[in-house]
Chain A
Amino acid sequence: MPGMIETRALRKVYLAASRKRVTPPRGTGTPSGGTRQASSPPQSGEIAALDGLDLEIHEGEFFGLLGPNGAGKTTTIGVLTTRVHATSGEAFVAGKNVATEEVAVRRRIGVVPQRPNPDRGLNVIENLLFHGAYFGLSHAVSMQRAMGLLEQFEIADRAHAKVEELSGGQQQRLMIARALLHEPRVIFLDEPTVGLDPQARLALWDILRILHAQGRTIVMTTHYMQEADELCDRLAIVDRGRLLALDTPSRLRLQAPGSTLIDLTIEGDCAAAATLCRRLSGVQRVDEAAGGLRAYSDRGGELIPALIHAVEEAGCRVQNINLSKPSLETLFVSLTGRKLA
Chain B
Amino acid sequence: MISGHEGDAPLPVSDVFFAMLRRDVRVARRELPFFLLRTTMQPLLLMVVFGYLLPKMGMVAKGYTATLLPGVVSLSLALSAVQSVSLPMVAQFGFSKEIEDRLLAPIPSHLVALELVTAGTLQGLLAGLFVLPVGRLIMGAIPGLGFSNAVQVFSVMLLGAATFSALGLLIGCAINPQQIGLMFSSIIGPMIFFGCMYYPWKGLDTVPVMKYAVLVNPLVYVAEGMRATLTPGVPHMDLTAISLALLTLLLLFWWLGLRAFMKRAVT
How many whole Å from B35's CB to the nearest CB in chain A?
Answer: 12
Does chain A have a CB within 8 A of B106? yes
A299 within 8 A of B: no
Decide if B56 is an interface residue (CB 8 Å cutoff): no
- Of chain A, the residue at the smallest CB distance from B23 is A130
Which residues 86-131 in A have Cβ within 8 Å of B in the complex?
Answer: 94, 102-104, 106-109, 111, 113, 115, 117-122, 126-127, 130-131
Of residues 208 through 255 on chain A, the ones whose CB sits less than 8 Å from some CB of chain B are 214-216
- Please tell me if the beta carbons of B98 and A135 are within 8 angstroms of each other in the complex: no
Chain A residues within an 8 Å CB radius of B13? 103
B102 contacts A by Cβ under 8 Å: yes
Asked if A134 and B106 make an inter-chain contact with CB atoms under 8 angstroms apart, the answer reads yes
Q: Are A135 and B2 in contact (CB under 8 A)?
A: no
For residue B103, which residues in chain A have a CB less than 8 angstroms away from its CB? Answer: 83
Which of B3-11, B65-73, B159-167, B247-255 lies at the binding interface?
B3-11
Interface stretch among A177-185, A283-291, A322-330? A177-185
Residues A119 and B23 in contact, CB atoms below 8 Å apart: yes
CB pair B27 A135 closer than 8 Å: no
Q: Which residue of A lies closest to B97 (CB)?
A: A117
Name the A residues within 8 Å of B202 (CB-CB).
none
Please pick, from B20, B88, B107, the residue contacting A103 in the complex, using a CB distance under 8 A: B107
A interface footprint on B17-39 (CB within 8 Å = 1, 0 otherwise) = 00110110011001100000000
A316 within 8 Å of B by Cβ? no
- Evaluate contact between A183 and B4: CB separation under 8 angstroms: yes
Residues B2 and A215 in contact, CB atoms below 8 Å apart: yes
CA distance A322 to B26 in the complex (A): 58
A131-152: CB near B (< 8 Å → 1, else 0) gives 1011111000000000000000
B101 to A117, Cβ gap below 8 A?
Answer: yes
B105 touches A106 (CB 8 A): yes
A109 to B100, CA, bound (A): 14
- The answer, yes or no, to whether B266 is at the interface (CB within 8 Å) is yes
A214 CB contact (under 8 Å) in B2, B88, B106, B266: B2
B108, CB-defined interface residue at 8 Å: yes
Residue of A nearest to B112 (CB): A134
A134 touches B16 (CB 8 A): yes
Considering only residues 69-125 of chain B, those with a C-beta below 8 Å from chain A are: 88, 96-98, 100-108
A122 near B23 with CB under 8 A, answer: yes
Give how many B residues have a beta carbon under 8 Å from the other chain's beta carbons.
35
**In this assembly, does B1 line the interface, its C-beta being within 8 Å of a C-beta of chain A?**
yes
Please tell me which one of the listed residues B4, B11, B23, B26 contacts residue A185 in the complex, with CB atoms under 8 A apart: B4
Find out whether the CB atom of A135 lies under 8 angstroms from the CB atom of B105: yes
**Which residues of chain B are near A119, meaning CB under 8 Å?**
23, 98, 101
A135 vs B19: C-alpha distance in the bound complex, in angstroms?
9
Partner of A21, one of B4, B16, B20, B267: B267
Partner of A122, one of B6, B26, B104, B266: B26
Q: Report how far A268 CA is from B244 CA in the complex, Å.
A: 75
Q: How many Å lie between the Cα of A133 and that of B24 in the bound state?
A: 13
**Could you tell me the distance in whole angstroms from the C-beta of A21 to the nearest C-beta in chain B?**
7
Any chain B CB within 8 A of the CB of A78? yes
Given the complex, which residues of A lie within 8 Å of B104, measured CB to CB? 81-83, 106, 109, 111
CA distance A131 to B23 in the complex (A): 10
Bound CA span A94–B6, Å = 13
Whether the pair B7, A185 counts as a contact (CB closer than 8 A) is: yes
B-chain residues with CB within 8 Å of residue A120 when the two chains form the complex: 96, 98
User: Residue A84 at the B interface, CB < 8 A?
Assistant: yes
Q: Is the CB of B267 within 8 A of A107?
A: no
Give Cα A131–Cα B9 distance, bound, in whole angstroms. Answer: 17
Per the bound structure, the CA–CA distance linking A84 and B103 in Å amounts to 12
Residues of chain A within 8 A (CB-CB) of B27 are 121-122
Q: Given the complex of chains A and B, what is the CA–CA distance between A337 and B192 in angstroms?
A: 59
A58 within 8 A of B: no
Q: Is A85 part of the contact surface with B, judged by Cβ < 8 Å?
A: yes
Which A residues between 170 and 191 are near B, CB-CB below 8 angstroms? 178, 182-185
A83 near B2 with CB under 8 A, answer: no
Q: How many angstroms from the CA of A130 to the CA of B98 in the assembled complex?
A: 13
Q: Whole-angstrom distance between the alpha carbons of A214 and B3 in the complex?
A: 10
Q: Which residues of B contact A109 (CB under 8 A)?
A: 104
The 10 closest A-B pairs by CB, nearest first: A133-B19, A121-B27, A134-B105, A117-B97, A136-B11, A107-B7, A108-B7, A107-B106, A106-B106, A185-B4
- 25 cross-chain CB contacts under 8 A: A18-B267, A83-B100, A83-B267, A84-B266, A94-B7, A103-B107, A106-B104, A108-B7, A113-B100, A121-B98, A126-B26, A130-B23, A130-B26, A131-B101, A131-B105, A133-B22, A134-B101, A134-B107, A135-B6, A136-B11, A136-B15, A136-B16, A183-B2, A184-B7, A214-B2
Interface residues of A (CB under 8 A from B): 18, 21, 78, 81-85, 94, 102-104, 106-109, 111, 113, 115, 117-122, 126-127, 130-131, 133-137, 178, 182-185, 214-216
